[in-house]
Amino acid sequence: MELCEYTCWQLHDMLKRKEVSSREITESVIKRIEEVDERTNCYITKTFDVALQKSHQVDDKIRRGEEIHPLSGIPIAIKDNICTEGVRTTCGSRILLNFIPPYDATVVKRLKEKGAVFIGKTNMDEFAMGSSTETSYFGITRNPWNLETVPGGSSGGSAAAVAADQTILALGSDTGGSIRQPASMCGVIGLKPTYGRISRFGLIAYASSLDQIGPITKDVRDCTLLLNAISGYDEQDSTSVNREVPDYTKSLVEDLKGIKIGIPTEYFGKGLDKEVEEGVLDGVKLLCSLGAEAEETHLPHTDYAIASYYLIATSEASSNLARYDGVGYGYRGAEEDLIDMYKHTRSSGFGAEVKRRIMLGTYSLSSGYYDAYYLKALKVRTLIKQDFEEAFKKFDCLITPTSPTPAFYIGEKIDDPLTMYLQDIYTISTNLAGIPGISIPCGFSHDGLPIGLQILGPIFGEEKLLQIAYTFEQNTDYHQQKPKI
Amino acid sequence: MDYEPVIGLEVHVQLATKTKLFCGCRTTFGAPPNSQTCPVCLGFPGVLPVLNKEVVELAILSAIALNCTINPYSRFSRKNYFYPDLPKAYQISQYDLPLAKDGWVEISSGGKIRKIGIIRVHLEEDAGKLIHEDSGSLVDYNRCGIPLIEIVSSPMLRSSQEAYEYLNALKDILRYLRVSDCNMEEGSLRCDANVSVREKDAEGFGTKTEVKNMNSFKAVKQALDYEISRQIDLLEKGRRVLQETRLWDERESRTHGMRTKEEAHDYRYFPEPDLVPLSINPEWVNKISKRLPELPKDRMNRFLKEYGLPEYDALVLTSSRDLADYYEECVRLYNQPKVISNWIMTELLALLKEDGIEITQVKIKPEHLISMLGLIDKGVISGKIAKDIIVHMFRTGKDPSLIVEEKGLVQITDEDEVSKVIDEVILENKKAVLEYKSGKTKVMGFLVGQVMKKTEGKANPQIVNKLLREKI
């Protein structure tokens, strides 16, 4: 077994026992990237020199007999919408083709302090708008389980890199499912934390009230380690919540006694792939056999989630992306006069999906339409939030499929945005409600593609989610399966 | 037909904080272009605003002084538009839930006191500044993110003079609070005016225009006068007033219509998702209201009553908080309010004006001014000499007794010494003495003058007068 195939916690033990060095781990990951990234295209920018340098520092520290953090010396991939000082951060867009931030995102700063090894910046749907990693200016990322299929999106590069052992850990961002859906399609763990749990400072905004950074990992234990490292209040982000961060590794106990699981029937209706449905329900059965109780329940406003999401997210996006105007930084189009420059910059700097969403959002915020669209969407959002609050009065968690289908074929949905948007149908409500959700592998389709099971919990209910996910994982081996690439 | 103007003013005031509204950048005026910027105020990708607490407190203090109700729950909104001086392509402002509302300011108009309503006071960030050169346009982002409050008056102003009075009242109050220096030339106070005219005592409103680009209070008055007569003129001719934004042209003393294309904005306001709503509880407001100083009108009234000053003196002395503080410190040390007022109003303010400086920069300490008055009382110096001494004090900041000593300006009060000089003068001016004796008493002044001249002004005038009369 190559070093790149291990988990973070395994490697940490090996580092502590001085069985391996961080340099060896890092070299193993680099070698793996060099072998397979030509086919998967997980990375937009590789930072091998920086990574090796950092691994030397960590090795020196170990040699001096100093204590190391569980993430010290461990390679991590960062989604390319998270700012890294001195390293190009593109958001998968031509418009930020050569943008090099002079600052680190707060999560990056925290990981640097802990000695994590930054291996590269991963591919994504342009500005995190998409569910397939097909809209990137830097090409399509392919699913390591089947190179003809998509890895999901928008954090497709991060999820595929973890699945293909092209990194040990990865960070993604989730606005409507962008961590969980690709994690599900790539057979890895993806957690979207509670809104406000993790600082958004340095995360290039798509929809500010929905965006949240989170871990993508090979197993639940790694997920807790990474979550521990990046969580917590940040005075640079007013929407981050000043609330104590528990030690999430304490959730790694196999115990489901008295756990009440709600199964929202709205998430098991039309459009759900039969194999996915079976996989998820088998998963629920397993949890029940381990001591949990499951019962059907309802989230009555689910039908309106997609409409509400695509109004709120695009409205915020239309404003968040207005700054890419060619004046201060980034790509600038031909300039006859000012208006001309704006037009050229934005029409050739952004891809089709981004422009579609900017137009939709601009429209919904326009005077005369605001009340009918944006304001109405906010009201629906409140109703959706209330649905969950009701449900969590009765249940510890809700279990649903992460996405309606396993990975689909490249090009299959790209020309049909409405079908593509339905990919997020089970993940979107979570962001609207601000609650946490985790996707874990729960089986494979007949043609060997991973299936994801989603566990949702109340605000700041990460600990219980992780405990349930961990117990599930301890009693299955789906997460240990590796794609053959 | 008789017309009356209807005017409402939108005033932007820069709050005097050390740092910007949403980042730690300095706000110093006149710094080299783009030297006071950071990724936050430059709108770089991924950065987030963090609200400056001191700004909120100054805004609350202002709103209290303007008799507003502070909203316990307000929020920020984004005002979206593209322009190169606005790096995020939106301005963080307040829209549907402003910081404060429903206040008023008193002005005097035609001898009467009028309360002018204030509709709202809200917080927002400033934009940058474009500099147009032959080779192209440059942008200075230093001003980006500088904290402003916008104060919107109700359309209650009925003349350009009232508008002028209102602006002065606002300025006086805000300067008293030390929340802003309200300097229109440096852009720390800016004013846009909404103007319409209607038949006198009519109910409804006429079509309004928004007038911008005035650089002084005087310009506001001139622009309003021009705009009012332009609108009346149109109506008289049976034509319509176009609803538009017009720019005041200082050089041509007229307003020009802006091209309508430039103002056809749909700002697409929506709540700023990067900031949490602003909750202001009554305890906080209470705490801030303790910082509220006595305001100009109240202080003036107190000066009238407490010190028995004439209205003009009280008005001038309370025109700035620092001047009033200076005056009161002097009165505290020396209980002669009117004497002190005279010295400050005639001598000190003239010197300040001459040098173009503020009372805060003056070198004369109140205790020195008082000790000078003491020297007069004790007869050590004459009032005339004191007028020279105060100039020295103004230049050097020295103790007046030190100046008196150094320059040998002590008054001659020794009657023998004065007597000797008078004898000389009588001998040298026999003709004048004769004239006096023949009844031309006016000559006395001339003779006193001669004595003063010989003593270089140091002789005590009372003694000179007395002895002269005795001797002639």
Mean pLDDT of chain A: 97
Sheet with B209-212, edge to edge strand ranges: B69-70, B100-109, B112-125, B147-153, B3-14, B189-199, B209-212, B245-249, B254-257
Of A89, A319, A327, Cβ closest to residue B78? A319
- Asked if B390 and B345 sit in the same domain, the reply is yes
Q: So what's the pLDDT on residue B249?
A: 95
* pLDDT of B449 above 90: no
Closest CA to A130 of A429, A354, A452, A430: A354
Point out the domain boundary residue: B387, B407, B427: B407
Provide the percentage of residues in chain B whose pLDDT is more than 70: 99
Does the distance separating the beta carbons of B39 and A322 come in below 8 Å?
no
- Asked if B152 and B255 sit in the same domain, the reply is yes
Note whether B177 and B62 are within 8 A (CB).
yes
Supply A289's token pair: 């056999």
| Torsion angle of the four alpha carbons B340, B342, B347, B352, in this order, in degrees rounded to the nearest 10 | 70
Mean pLDDT of chain B: 92
Q: So what's the pLDDT on residue B260?
A: 61
Q: So what's the pLDDT on residue B264?
A: 61
What residues of chain A lie within 8 A of the CB of B47, using their CB?
103, 201-202
* pLDDT of B259 above 70: no
In the structure, what pLDDT confidence band is assigned to residue B44 with cuts at 50, 70 and 90? very high
Q: How many domains are there within chain B?
A: 3
- Asked if B151 and B202 sit in the same domain, the reply is yes
Q: So what's the pLDDT on residue A99?
A: 97
- Asked if B332 and B235 sit in the same domain, the reply is no
- Asked if B402 and B419 sit in the same domain, the reply is no
Does the distance separating the beta carbons of B50 and A238 come in below 8 Å?
yes
Compute chain B's Rg from CA coordinates.
Answer: 30
Does the distance separating the beta carbons of B82 and A235 come in below 8 Å?
no
- Asked if B331 and B280 sit in the same domain, the reply is no
Point out the domain boundary residue: B360, B389, B407: B407
Q: Please state, in angstroms and rounded to a whole number, the distance separating the CA atoms of residues A178 and A152.
A: 8
A320-323, long-range: CB < 8 A, 24+ apart: A320/A205, A320/A206, A320/A207, A320/A208, A321/A127, A321/A350, A321/A354, A321/A358, A322/B80, A322/B82, A322/B88, A322/B89, A322/B90, A323/B43, A323/B45, A323/B87, A323/B88, A323/B89
What residues of chain B lie within 8 A of the CB of A83, using their CB?
45-46
More confident residue, B460 or A20: A20
B215-246 pLDDT tens trace: 999 999 999 999 999 999 999 999 999 999 99
CA distance A341 to chain B (A): 11
Point out the domain boundary residue: B264, B287, B310: B287
B359-409 pLDDT tens trace: 999 999 999 999 899 888 887 888 888 888 899 899 998 888 888 878 777
CA distance B60 to chain A (A): 21
Q: Which of A46, A54, A79, A218 is catalytic?
A: A79
Compute chain A's Rg from CA coordinates.
Answer: 21
Beta-carbon contacts of residue B454 (< 8 Å; ≥ 6 apart) = B421, B424, B425
Beta-bridge partner residues of B90: B80
Q: What is the DSSP string of B235-260?
A: HHTTPPPP--EEEEETTTTEEEEPPH
Choose, out of A80, A198, A238, the residue to mutate when testing the contact with B (most B CBs < 10 Å).
A238
Half-sphere exposure of A64 (CA within 13 A, CB side): 9
B139 touches chain A (CB under 8 A): yes
Q: Please state, in angstroms and rounded to a whole number, the distance separating the CA atoms of residues A245 and A384.
A: 27
B201 touches chain A (CB under 8 A): no
A50-102 pLDDT tens trace: 999 999 999 999 999 999 999 999 999 999 999 999 999 999 999 999 999 99
> Minimal Cα distance from A89: which residue of B?
B45
Stretch among A300-309, B17-26, B218-227, B400-409 having the lowest mean pLDDT:
B400-409
A98-133 pLDDT tens trace: 999 999 999 999 999 999 999 999 999 999 999 999
Note whether A341 and A335 are within 8 A (CB).
yes
Average pLDDT over residues B61-76: 97
Domain boundaries, chain A: 3-256+473-480
- Asked if B172 and B26 sit in the same domain, the reply is yes
Note whether B336 and B373 are within 8 A (CB).
yes
In the structure, what pLDDT confidence band is assigned to residue A177 with cuts at 50, 70 and 90? very high
Give Cα separations from A475 to A85, A454, B200 (angstroms).
Answer: 41, 17, 87
Annotation marks residue A178 as catalytic:
yes
> Minimal Cα distance from B43: which residue of A?
A323
Apex B354 CA angle, B348 and B357, nearest 5: 75
B162-213 pLDDT tens trace: 999 999 999 999 999 999 999 988 889 999 999 999 998 888 899 999 999 9
Query: Cβ atoms within 10 A of the Cβ of B237, count?
Result: 7
Annotation marks residue A79 as catalytic:
yes
Choose, out of B23, B44, B77, B279, the residue to mutate when testing the contact with A (most A CBs < 10 Å).
B44
- Asked if B84 and B187 sit in the same domain, the reply is yes
- At residue A182, φ and ψ (nearest 5 deg) are -65, -35
Q: Please state, in angstroms and rounded to a whole number, the distance separating the CA atoms of residues B389 and B408.
A: 11
Provide the percentage of residues in chain A whose pLDDT is more than 90: 97
In the structure, what pLDDT confidence band is assigned to residue B414 with cuts at 50, 70 and 90? confident
- Asked if B119 and B30 sit in the same domain, the reply is yes
What is the number of CB-based contacts under 8 A between chain A and chain B?
98
Average pLDDT over residues A431-457: 98
Domain interval for residue B72: 3-287
Fold of A3-256+473-480: Amidase signature (AS) enzymes (3.90.1300)
Does the distance separating the beta carbons of B274 and A238 come in below 8 Å?
yes
Q: What is the DSSP string of A120-188?
A: EEE--SGGG--SSS-S-TT----BTTBTTB---SSSHHHHHHHHTTS-SEEEEEESSSTTHHHHHHHTS
Q: So what's the pLDDT on residue B450?
A: 84
Supply A469's token pair: 């996910």
Q: So what's the pLDDT on residue B451?
A: 83
Q: Which residue has the tokens 């950048």?
A: B25
Q: Please state, in angstroms and rounded to a whole number, the distance separating the CA atoms of residues A43 and A28.
A: 16
Does the distance separating the beta carbons of B273 and A203 come in below 8 Å?
no
Q: So what's the pLDDT on residue B186?
A: 85
Q: So what's the pLDDT on residue A39?
A: 98
Beta-carbon contacts of residue A325 (< 8 Å; ≥ 6 apart) = A342, A345, A346, B82, B84, B89
Q: Is the dihedral of CA B354, B358, B361, B362 positive or negative?
A: positive
